[in-house]
Amino acid sequence: MTDITIALSKGRIFEDTAPLLKAAGIVALDDPESSRKLILATNRANVRLIIVRASDVPTYVQYGAADLGIAGKDVLHEHGGAGLYQPLDLNIARCRMMVAVPEGFDYDSAVRQGARLRIATKYVQTAREHFADKGVHVDLIKLYGSMELAPLVGLADAIVDLVSSGNTLKANHLKAVEEIMPISARLIINQAALKLKREIIQPVLDAFSDAIKQ
Ligand code: PRT
Ligand code: MG
């Protein structure tokens, strides 16, 4: 019997994905939030889940270590998408990729005057493209988390980060000044696996597709 492996991350993505998996008849036997297992069996003998960092999901699927995965568009844009089919926008884990600055900072006139901006972000590729398109000169500083801190302590003029409620920006006296792109999670499939294991992957794809229409 053919087996398939689905790569997921804990947290927001898993919360929103569990109902979709259920619609496809897939239920994890352990709760990934409480279990320390990295490979989770499901109610279906030929389907297993692997739990990886959100930003590692495309890599596992690209190399075929997982056949399918669910990853945010933020992560996919940074990864580049090589070797991946992205057939479905699941419309979950939604937020926006934004440029944000301290409340008192006049971003528009800094940009108008051709200032060179220091930008702290985890999303270096996305930020580079965005500012190149605008013709704004930037120095990019790569961070791995808590970007909101950088402008508060003089590490950067601005950040590029995800915003959903806006509460984190507000709590740190920052304001969003530009939207780069809307973000949601996508189903991704290894291109070779889709061809070789279509019999088992296609029904999962169809079930997800039906579930998000409802
Ligand atoms: O934690 P780890 O480093 O392993 O990875 P991760 O932090 O990327 O994972 P996780 O689970 O936090 O996020 C997984 C995915 O959820 C992301 O790749 C996005 O596609 C999606 N997502 C949706 C978000 C948000 N909304 C979001 N608000 N990811 C992060 N945030 C953060 C944001 O970076 C900021 O710090 O939440 C904060 C802002 O939230 P608000 O509500 O205060 O605006
Ligand atoms: Mg996180």
Domains and CATH numbers, the chain: 4-93+184-213 (3.40.190.10), 95-182 (3.40.190.10)
Looking at residue 59, its pLDDT comes to: 98
CA 53 to chain centre: 10
Confidence band of 136 (pLDDT split at 50, 70, 90): very high
Q: How many CB atoms lie within 10 A of CB 31?
A: 11
Does ligand 1 have an atom closer than 6 angstroms to the CB of 72? Answer: yes
Check whether 1 has a pLDDT greater than 70.
no
Looking at residue 77, its pLDDT comes to: 97
Does ligand 1 have an atom closer than 6 angstroms to the CB of 171? Answer: no
Looking at residue 207, its pLDDT comes to: 94
Measured from the Cα of 161, ligand 1's closest atom is 34
d(CA 2, CA 161): 40
d(CA 99, CA 179): 6
Confidence band of 164 (pLDDT split at 50, 70, 90): very high
d(CA 194, CA 1): 16
Q: Could you tell which of 50, 74, 77, 95 is best to mutate to test the pocket of ligand 1, judged by most ligand atoms within 8 Å of the CB?
A: 95
Which ligand lies nearest the alpha carbon of 144?
1
> Are residues 68 and 6 in contact, defined by beta-carbon separation less than 8 angstroms?
yes
